[in-house]
Structure 1
């Protein structure tokens, strides 16, 4: 199934480069810029729009753009991508983990002890992701390109069998998960208390762009009773035909609660 590379999300450690047409304007200034832009530089930490890539050059959307951490890496990626897209190359690389190591140190989280206890490993982010349609909430769904193709095929085959599969969420960045921890710590929770219900930043399969949460209409997202739906029954029978497997069945060795909604593309 063809995936248009012009709709790729380009990923760098601190800044994402979005296709402008997939972003929502947050004011009149943004609206004017986005209507003319090819891509928008978006800060990963808080989602701020930093600059618009126009045919005539880069339009700053924040003061002191040149001081923005990670700007040079983002611009280098932007310059390199047109050649990549025109060549049809689909190699997916991985971003370095040094920023994540620094943030985990700040949290006081012992990576080695956590990995040993859970059997999970740090997951690097891909350096680009493919647009795989929209999720239940009309947000762009990002996956690695092979996973995106497989998801779209699987969704369409299920539809032919009168089963509706909805994506609930796909790729999530390290910064997204770190933001969950920052907000909960600001409310007074300890790191240990947060780890009881949230995976440590960097250890989620969602960071890889190979995993997605799946639901079906009129059913609440990410709840165990998804297993009672025709959608789950269809997945149990057919998901492996498309390269997907359920990551966290009952009594999984990682100690993660049963997640019948969470499926990973494993044929990469």
Structure 2
């Protein structure tokens, strides 16, 4: 069950541990969730596992977990609400601190040699993002404002030429990327094997909210076969005028596999 739809100018407010979502973009997982979401303007969501922590109602904050006051990061998230930030920040997004990331990378066995070997830099998350539409799986697509507007304009331009561009994914948090690694390690994959296809947590361009993976209808996501599509041919000719460039061409200096689907807005 879903609550009322959110407008395309909706914003995701971001802290190190907690996100503040427009309630209309979240799916209820229980009857209690459904009742809360139907009345809420926003929902506090734990980044690590997606758990709904509290619903923001007209009459105040409704806890959805026991001992909400002990939740890590809850004060920072509530400060956003106290400042009226759910009405939409007026300033450009600012980078969040790299909260505990080095310790968590160390637990995975990733140290500074990874950055030296790949030439990749740590990427901070923005403190808010704009809803740029939805991806092919009908998930909200979050991007920083400039990238969101450029993506929508580029999609319209492609459509006017008879080409459909699909977003496969946009912003990903450090926690999301860590989850990818944890799940693959639990399935028995080795760290070196995972790093061949996934940037280490904290080093993915997706964290900045200005990169997205692009696909075409009927094509599998994130496959090299994308380069044979009309969508890729259109991007190769026209993406630059919209501020997008392909980050990982063949033989790129980072040693990352060829990714014709991954494009970053550089303004």
TM-score above 0.5: yes
Q: Per-residue CA shift, 1:16-43, capped at 9, x if unaligned?
A: 0000001011111101100110110000
Q: Per-residue CA shift, 1:220-246, capped at 9, x if unaligned?
A: 111111111111111011101110000
**Does the Cα contact within 8 Å between 1:8 and 1:131 map onto a contact in 2?**
yes
- Cα separation, partners in 2 of 1:109 and 1:17, compared to 1, 3 Å: same
Q: TM-score, normalised by structure 2?
A: 0.94
The count of corresponding residues between Structure 1 and Structure 2 is: 262
Deviation at 1:5, TM superposition (A): 8.5
Give the Cα–Cα distance (whole angstroms) in 2 for the partners of residues 82 and 73 of structure 1. 12
Q: What SS does structure 1 have at the residue aligned with 2:131?
A: strand
- Ranges of 4+ aligned residues in structure 1 off by more than 6 Å: none
Q: What SS does structure 2 have at the residue aligned with 1:171?
A: coil
5+ residue gaps in structure 2? 1-6
Tell me what 1:196 maps to: 196
Tell me what 2:31 maps to: 28
Tell me what 2:101 maps to: 100
**Does the Cα contact within 8 Å between 1:9 and 1:129 map onto a contact in 2?**
yes
Aligned ranges for residues 1-40 of structure 1 at < 5 Å? 7-40=10-43
5+ residue gaps in structure 1? none
**Does the Cα contact within 8 Å between 2:80 and 2:86 map onto a contact in 1?**
no
Tell me what 2:209 maps to: 209
Q: Is 1:89 the equivalent of 2:90? A: yes
Q: Per-residue CA shift, 1:169-202, capped at 9, x if unaligned?
A: 0000000011112222333444333223321100
Q: Is 1:235 the equivalent of 2:235? A: yes
**Does the Cα contact within 8 Å between 1:41 and 1:50 map onto a contact in 2?**
yes
Q: TM-score, normalised by structure 1?
A: 0.93
Tell me what 2:147 maps to: 147
Give the Cα–Cα distance (whole angstroms) in 2 for the partners of residues 38 and 181 of structure 1. 33
Q: What SS does structure 2 have at the residue aligned with 1:98?
A: coil
**Does the Cα contact within 8 Å between 1:6 and 1:19 map onto a contact in 2?**
no
Give the Cα–Cα distance (whole angstroms) in 2 for the partners of residues 219 and 148 of structure 1. 23
